[in-house]
């Protein structure tokens, strides 16, 4: 019996050996687990570094940055400078040597026998009576004649400067022919004539309307009415203004006043010197 119990007794494993076996098993299990983890990819890839620039496909377009529009700042503009008023006192309207002198039935020249000191003949324009003009008027007439010729207009001088004595003779002849009342409508008395200033010129184009109202409808009359102010001449006795100027319509009679005044009158639509300078109408002699 003793022999039998001894033969079926379980063998004993030393404790140290058992512990080593258990440790080895643990290491083996850990290794298997690690290998399994490495073999299966992680479902969530690591986030890219913020410093990396993502690549785009050729059709990918980066969304534009949206910024709030800047509100423009209103800057007040400086007002445009006002055009200076025309200086109506730049030249005298009383001095007979002034290019702005106004002579009419109520305004006699002083002295009555005034004679300009700078008379000269205009060059290059037919002048049947060889009458001169004051130097600035003569030079301006030459320029105007040259430009008129370029436009196909051929001008000639019918009358220009007339002295006091010449005006005496001319006016007396008109009175003898037509009577005093009629003569006063178209011829100035001595000492009142614009021709005596050397600044007035009567023009013609040899078209059959010399010193006639029909000159206004000739090519020369039309061209002069439109262009004479550019050269400093104004149509001194306009149509419909005889109650102011004292003389009938004379579309051939042009008076030199200089480009500044002539252009100002054209731009403002003021047709007579009396109206422009605020002078009384002069329909009759005082």
With a cut of 90, say whether residue 168 has pLDDT above it.
Answer: yes
Find out whether 126 and 109 touch, Cβ atoms under 8 Å: no
Which residues form the catalytic set? 250
| DSSP single-letter state for residue 29 | H
Tokens 């037509």, residue? 178
More confident residue, 264 or 28: 264
Question: Is residue 106 packed enough to be buried (19+ CB in 10 Å), middle (13-18) or exposed (0-12)?
Answer: middle
φ, ψ for residue 201, nearest 5 deg? -145, 135
Encode pLDDT of 169-219 as tens digits: 999 999 999 999 999 999 999 999 999 999 999 999 999 999 999 999 999
Most confident of 67-71, 81-85, 281-285: 281-285
Cα separation, 135 vs 198, in Å, equals 9
Find out whether 250 and 234 touch, Cβ atoms under 8 Å: no
> Max CA-CA distance within the chain?
198
Q: How confident is the model at residue 32 (pLDDT cuts 50, 70, 90)?
A: very low
φ, ψ for residue 107, nearest 5 deg? -130, 95
Token pair recorded at residue 264: 């100002």
Q: What beta strand segments (E) does the chain contain?
A: 119-120, 133-134, 156-159, 200-204, 233-235, 253-256
Token pair recorded at residue 178: 């037509």
With a cut of 80, say whether residue 13 has pLDDT above it.
Answer: no
Q: Which residues contact 54 (CB under 8 A, 6 or more apart)?
A: 48
With a cut of 60, say whether residue 56 has pLDDT above it.
Answer: no
The residues that bridge with 256 in the sheet, in sequence order, are: 233
Q: What mean pLDDT value characterizes the chain? A: 84
Cα separation, 252 vs 214, in Å, equals 10
Find out whether 205 and 158 touch, Cβ atoms under 8 Å: no
With a cut of 80, say whether residue 237 has pLDDT above it.
Answer: yes
Cα separation, 206 vs 235, in Å, equals 19
Encode pLDDT of 131-167 as tens digits: 999 999 999 999 999 999 999 999 999 999 999 999 9
Encode pLDDT of 216-236 as tens digits: 999 999 999 999 999 999 999
Q: Tell me the percentage of the chain whose pLDDT exceeds 70.
A: 71
pLDDT of residue 84: 78
Cα separation, 98 vs 277, in Å, equals 14
Q: How confident is the model at residue 267 (pLDDT cuts 50, 70, 90)?
A: very high
Token pair recorded at residue 219: 């090519």
CA distances to 13, 35, 197 from 26, in Å: 19, 14, 138
Classify 49 as helix, strand or coil.
Answer: coil
With a cut of 80, say whether residue 123 has pLDDT above it.
Answer: yes
CA distances to 89, 98, 192, 229, 261 from 86, in Å: 9, 17, 27, 16, 9
With a cut of 80, say whether residue 48 has pLDDT above it.
Answer: no
pTM of the shown model:
0.72
The residues that bridge with 201 in the sheet, in sequence order, are: 254
């Amino acid at each position: 019996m003793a022999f039998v119990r001894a033969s079926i007794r379980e063998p004993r494993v030393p404790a140290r050996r058992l512990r080593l076996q258990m440790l080895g098993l643990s290491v083996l299990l850990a290794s298997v687990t690690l290998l399994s983890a490495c073999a299966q990819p992680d479902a969530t890839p690591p986030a890219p570094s913020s410093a990396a620039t993502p690549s785009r496909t050729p059709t990918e377009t980066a969304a534009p940055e949206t910024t709030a529009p800047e509100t423009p700042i209103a800057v007040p503009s400086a007002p445009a400078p006002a055009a200076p008023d025309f200086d109506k006192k730049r030249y005298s309207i009383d001095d007979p040597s002034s290019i702005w002198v106004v002579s009419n039935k109520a305004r006699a020249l002083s002295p009555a026998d005034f004679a300009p000191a700078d008379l000269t003949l205009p060059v290059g324009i037919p002048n049947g009576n060889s009458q001169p003009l004051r130097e600035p008027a003569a030079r301006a007439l030459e320029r105007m004649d040259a430009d008129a010729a370029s436009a196909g207009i051929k001008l000639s001088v019918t009358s220009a400067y007339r002295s006091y004595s010449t005006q005496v003779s001319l006016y007396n002849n008109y009175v003898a022919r037509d009577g005093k009342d009629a003569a006063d409508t178209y011829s100035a008395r001595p000492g009142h004539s614009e021709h005596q200033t050397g600044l007035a010129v009567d023009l013609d184009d040899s078209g059959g309307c010399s010193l006639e109202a029909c000159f206004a409808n000739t090519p020369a009359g039309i061209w002069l009415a439109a262009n004479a102010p550019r050269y400093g001449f104004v149509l001194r006795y306009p149509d419909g203004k005889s109650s102011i100027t004292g003389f009938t319509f004379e579309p051939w009679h042009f008076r030199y006043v200089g480009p500044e005044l002539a252009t100002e009158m054209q731009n403002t639509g003021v047709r007579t010197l009396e109206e422009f300078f605020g002078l009384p109408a002069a329909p009759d002699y005082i």
